């Protein structure tokens, strides 16, 4: 692997600028003439807009424009869309209500934008927004998805009677019901997956710049996928044709899914720039982020898991209600369907599965993919149920899982997915050894001596990553293909630029993608630059989410490197009068195998560009592009173990140890992969112990709209983590990579909840397991 190649623990190339305060995030952009936007947002969860009076705001100091939704409609700006069509089980298409970038008729959640004020300073824009008078006719609101499906509830969209977006199913209902009827034991649970706010530390921002001479727009934005943003803003929102719209996602401070989507604010900034004739920048504050960034999770499910007399699962039946909020966000429809129900087989050989999913409108902000996206919900449901079943059956949790593990591959599940490779036992054993599972009873007894309740819990997760084969997702309703592109440019002096459609917002692509080049050509890592995040520089790309940049983005780079290597060898063979099949690349030189003849890499590159002596008919230059469309999803899997100690006096949970054993296939940079796991686990622990979005059920006011109310995991809430890797290479991509970005957030919540319920002896506990809830549950168990 060399010191900089594949598998090397290389420190990151991008770190220096971040460490010196030289990162360039969207809010760091200042352009001549730039003004500031502030949004007027609905204070009501549901209301008709009677009128908007902007006259006072227009007279405020510094205000240069106050714009509203009617003007936007007049200018032909389109509705926001959801890009994945789901059909209900009756064959009808999902019921999508209109989502205007600026509401002009009805507001449907607290924070819904109704007008924008553009002013000389941020303070003046906010003062202006305060002075806009909106007359609302307040309507009843509903925030709970189960309640919203009931009769007599407020109706959000005329397109969706009963607030039902779709009623979808997957699997064999009859076979599942028959197996449950014949089962030796059935474990039944109600599972609530709590609603979360993604909270990347950089709030969203957008800078719209309209050039009237060229009729051209530039948009700086906090996006995980700038090309998709340009496509959607062109094709659906009618902002500008693609060739007249440049989207740049510069340094982006975390995303976790919430920056995939195209939000009203970037559309409004572009449009407002043309309307006002000045560049317009908007930067979200944290409360605005809580109010308007797409949330995650928010499922309520019932589950039945059926067993035969040998403790083998014979069927799984799931019914899920998913809260979608007030509008259908870009990929929202895919999350509780193809990213959730297709993973309900877990690591297990289940003969029959049936899942029914209802998606529901409520008067809350939109819900879409958040780190893991559907797969954490599936894993939490399965692994809490598996643990509960083990307790009911009197089998050890490890044994029950072992009995049901899939052990031969490929494995076709009853819910679409075809697992290509894995060794679930290996991760289970590695995790149990690292956690000293066998020594737990002694530790529990010791803790009991101190008056503490100690518990241990595990979770065996699987996820589908590397999204996704374009034809397959197209057949399931996706509006886009999910390939990735790359271009490799070798300059005349031998330095290399890689242009990728993947987007790095913390993942370290500037290092790991460069490692592929260093590994292949033996050139120094410093001579390789990664270019991403700008639609004017990079060919079309699909961006970064779903742990796809390694499995899909890097595979595209590998394809382009293959082409570069083939041409480089042809040139070198010609220069050395050798057969191209004898050329090998080693340590930055092209050599004739078995001889002392060699040409340095830079000299070959120079020859490609001088073109004085190339093989007959060869084009000058050395630049190759590739599009890579994956053949299958990838299937990272692993086992997580949490051990906790609970103080029965306070209900406070202390995580004594946390172990992760993951199989991500081959690994490019273990340091970066471990970092991804750490961060994912922290978010999973946050979900299990601390985090939860709360709306007032009557008024629809967001009660958790700041870091004073929404509990983010802090350093003293968390332990250090023990992380290890087991490797079964993915057979379906050239690097054997599976992906690692979401595993931590997927595997950790059930491990922790299994540990806490083990400690207190009460299984009736929902996330987040706050001290108050744990204290009450522990007391209920002893009384």
The binding site for other proteins (CB under 8 A) comprises 11-12, 14-25, 27-28, 30, 121-123, 199-203, 251-254, 256, 283, 285-287, 505-508, 671-672, 674-675, 678-683, 706-708, 712-716, 718, 720-721, 744
Whichever of 494 and 680 has its CB closer to other proteins, that residue is: 680
Pick from 678, 739, 375, 334: nearest CA to 553: 739
The candidate with the shortest Cα–Cα distance to 260, out of 290, 224, 294, 226, is: 224
| Nearest-angstrom CA–CA distance, 598 and 582 | 11
Shortest spacing between CB 676 and other proteins, in angstroms: 8
- The C-alpha angle 655, 508, 14, rounded to 5 degrees, equals 120
Q: Spell out the SS3 assignment of 570-586.
A: HHHHHHHCCCHHHEEEE
Q: Which lies closer to other proteins via its Cβ, residue 11 or residue 584?
A: 11
Taking the least distance from each CB to other proteins, the nearer of 25 and 483 is 25
Distance between CA atoms of residues 452 and 447, nearest Å: 5
Q: Which of 166, 174, 179 is nearest to 304 (CA)?
A: 179
Nearer to other proteins, 14 or 392 (CB): 14
Residue closer to other proteins (CB basis): 495 or 711 = 711
Closer CB to other proteins, residue 531 or residue 540? 531
Nearer to other proteins, 724 or 766 (CB): 724
Q: In the bound complex, what is the minimum distance in angstroms from residue 669's beta carbon to other proteins?
A: 9
CB within 8 A of 363, min separation 6: which ones? 45, 46, 108, 109, 110, 141, 142, 143, 154, 156, 326, 695, 700
Nearer to other proteins, 4 or 487 (CB): 4
What is the distance between the alpha carbons of residues 718 and 732, in angstroms, rounded to a whole number? 36
Q: Which is nearer to other proteins, 718 or 727 (CB)?
A: 718
Strand 280-283 versus strand 35-41 pairing type = parallel
Q: How far is the CB of 661 from other proteins (least distance, A)?
A: 16
The nearest distance, CB 452 to other proteins, in angstroms, is 18
> CA–CA separation, 706 vs 698, rounded Å?
20
Q: Which of 19/184 has CB closer to other proteins?
A: 19
Query: In the β-sheet with 453-462, what is the strand arrangement from edge to edge?
Result: 453-462, 637-646, 653-663, 722-725
Relative to beta strand 35-41, strand 418-419 is unpaired
**CA–CA separation, 7 and 15 (whole Å):** 19
Q: What residue has token string 């992906």?
A: 739
- Residue written as token pair 């925030």: 143
Query: DSSP per residue over 96-134, as a string?
Result: PPP--SS-SSEE-STT-EEEEEEESSHHHHHHHHHH-EE
The sign one gets for the Cα dihedral 688, 674, 531, 520 is negative
Q: What is the nearest approach in angstroms of other proteins to the Cβ of residue 324?
A: 24
Residues constituting the chain: 783
User: Between residues 23 and 479, which has the closer beta carbon with respect to other proteins?
Assistant: 23
CB-nearer residue toward other proteins: 21 or 152: 21
Smallest gap from Cβ 645 to other proteins, in A, equals 15
Nearer to other proteins, 254 or 474 (CB): 254
CA-closest candidate to residue 717, choices 665, 644, 773: 644
CA distance 400 to 764: 21
Cis ω before 410 (30° cut-off from 0): yes
Distances (CA, A) of 111 to 290, 308, 344, 419, 569: 9, 51, 35, 42, 59
Pairwise CA distance, residues 363 & 145, whole Å? 9
Whose Cβ is closer to other proteins: residue 581's or residue 720's? 720
Spatial contact of 740 and 547, defined as CB atoms under 8 Å apart:
yes
Tell me whether residue 27 or residue 487 sits nearer to other proteins (CB atom): 27
**Other CB atoms within 10 A of residue 782 CB:** 10
Residue in 665, 507, 484, 491 with CA at minimum distance from that of residue 557: 484
**In terms of CB distance, is 447 or 690 closer to other proteins?**
690
| Rounded Cα gap, residues 52 and 64, in angstroms | 17
Nearest approach in angstroms of CB 252 to other proteins is: 7
**Nearest C-alpha neighbor of 459 from the set 645, 667, 681, 666:** 681
Nearest to 588 by CA among 600, 603, 570, 572: 600
Minimal distance, residue 30 CB to other proteins, in Å = 7
Task: Quote the CA–CA distance of 557 and 626 in Å, as a whole number.
Answer: 7
Q: Which of 634, 469, 490, 631 is nearest to 542 (CA)?
A: 469
- DSSP lists the bridge partners of residue 653 as 646
Using the minimum distance from each CB to other proteins, give the nearer residue, 202 or 663: 202
Specify the residue, 507 or 598, whose C-beta has the smaller distance to other proteins. Answer: 507
Rounded to whole angstroms, the Cα distance separating 761 from 755 reads 10
* Chain center to CA of 300: 21
Shortest Å, Cβ 293 to other proteins: 12
Q: What is the CA radius of gyration of the chain?
A: 27
């Amino acid at each position: 692997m060399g010191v900089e190649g594949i598998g090397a623990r290389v420190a990151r190339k991008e770190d220096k600028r971040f460490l010196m305060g030289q990162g360039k995030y969207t809010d760091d952009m200042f352009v001549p003439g730039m003004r500031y936007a502030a949004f007027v947002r609905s204070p009501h969860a549901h209301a008709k807009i009677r009128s908007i009076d902007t006259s006072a705001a227009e007279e405020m100091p510094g205000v240069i424009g106050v714009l509203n939704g009617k003007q936007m409609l007049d200018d032909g700006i389109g509705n926001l869309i959801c890009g994945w069509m789901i059909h209900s089980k009756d064959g009808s298409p999902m019921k999508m209500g209109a989502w205007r970038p600026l509401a002009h008729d009805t507001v449907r959640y607290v924070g819904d934008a109704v007008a924008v004020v553009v002013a000389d300073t941020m303070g003046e824009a906010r003062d202006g927004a305060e002075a806009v008078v909106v007359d609302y006719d307040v309507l009843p609101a509903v925030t709970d998805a189960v309640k919203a499906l009931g009769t007599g509830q407020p109706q959000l969209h005329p397109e969706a009677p009963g607030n039902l977006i779709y009623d979808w199913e997957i699997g064999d209902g009859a076979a599942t019901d028959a197996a449950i009827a014949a089962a030796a034991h059935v474990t039944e649970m109600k599972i609530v997956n709590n609603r979360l706010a993604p909270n990347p530390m950089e709030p969203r921002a957008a800078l719209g710049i309209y050039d009237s001479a060229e009729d051209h727009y530039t948009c700086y934005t906090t996006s995980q996928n700038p090309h998709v943003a340009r496509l959607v803003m062109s094709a659906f929102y009618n902002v500008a044709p693609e060739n007249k719209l440049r989207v740049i996602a510069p340094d982006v401070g975390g995303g976790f899914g919430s920056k995939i989507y195209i939000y009203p604010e970037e559309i409004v900034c572009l449009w407002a720039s043309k309307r006002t004739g000045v560049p317009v920048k908007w930067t979200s504050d944290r409360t605005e982020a809580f109010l308007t960034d797409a949330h995650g999770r928010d499922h309520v499910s019932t589950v039945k898991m059926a067993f035969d007399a040998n403790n083998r699962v014979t069927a799984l039946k799931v019914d899920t209600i998913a809260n979608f909020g007030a509008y259908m966000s870009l990929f929202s429809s895919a999350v509780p369907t193809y990213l959730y129900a297709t993973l309900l087989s877990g690591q297990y050989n289940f003969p029959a599965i049936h899942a029914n999913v209802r998606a529901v409108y409520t008067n809350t902000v939109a819900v879409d993919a958040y780190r893991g996206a559907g797969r954490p919900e599936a894993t939490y449901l399965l692994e809490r149920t598996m643990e509960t079943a083990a307790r009911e059956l009197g089998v050890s949790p490890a044994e029950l899982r072992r009995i049901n593990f899939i052990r031969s591959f490929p494995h076709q599940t009853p819910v679409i997915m075809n697992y290509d490779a894995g060794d679930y036992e290996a991760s289970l054993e590695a995790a149990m050894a690292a956690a000293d599972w066998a020594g737990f009873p002694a530790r529990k007894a010791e803790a009991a001596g101190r008056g503490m309740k100690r518990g241990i819990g595990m979770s065996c997760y699987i996820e589908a990553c590397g999204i996704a084969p374009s034809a397959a997702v197209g057949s399931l309703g996706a509006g886009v293909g999910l390939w990735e592109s790359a271009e490799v440019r070798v300059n005349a002096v031998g330095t290399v630029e890689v242009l990728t459609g993947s987007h790095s917002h913390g993942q370290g692509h500037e290092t790991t993608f460069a490692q592929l080049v260093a590994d292949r050509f033996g050139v120094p890592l410093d001579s390789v630059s990664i270019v991403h995040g700008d639609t004017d520089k990079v060919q079309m790309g699909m961006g970064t989410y779903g742990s796809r940049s390694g499995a899909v983005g890097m595979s595209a780079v590998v394809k382009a490197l293959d082409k570069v290597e083939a041409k480089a060898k042809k040139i070198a063979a010609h220069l050395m009068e050798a057969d191209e099949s004898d050329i090998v690349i080693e340590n930055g030189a092209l050599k004739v195998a078995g001889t002392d003849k060699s040409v340095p890499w830079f000299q070959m590159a120079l020859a490609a560009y001088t073109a004085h002596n190339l093989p007959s008919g060869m084009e000058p230059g050395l630049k190759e592009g590739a599009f890579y469309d994956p053949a299958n999803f990838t299937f990272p899997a692993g086992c997580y173990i949490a051990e906790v100690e609970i103080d029965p006096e306070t209900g406070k949970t202390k995580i004594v140890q946390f172990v992760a054993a993951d199989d991500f296939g081959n690994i490019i940079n273990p340091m970066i992969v471990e970092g991804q796991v750490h961060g994912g686990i922290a978010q999973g622990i946050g979900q299990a112990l601390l985090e939860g979005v709360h709306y007032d059920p009557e008024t629809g006011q967001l009660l958790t709209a700041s870091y004073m109310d929404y509990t983010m995991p802090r350093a003293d809430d968390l332990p250090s983590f023990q992380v290890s890797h087991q490797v079964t290479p993915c057979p379906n991509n050239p690097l054997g990579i599976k992906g690692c970005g979401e595993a931590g957030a997927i595997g950790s919540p059930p491990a922790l909840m299994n540990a806490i319920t083990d400690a207190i002896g009460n299984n009736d506990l929902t996330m987040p397991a706050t001290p108050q809830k744990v204290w009450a549950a522990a007391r209920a168990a002893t009384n």
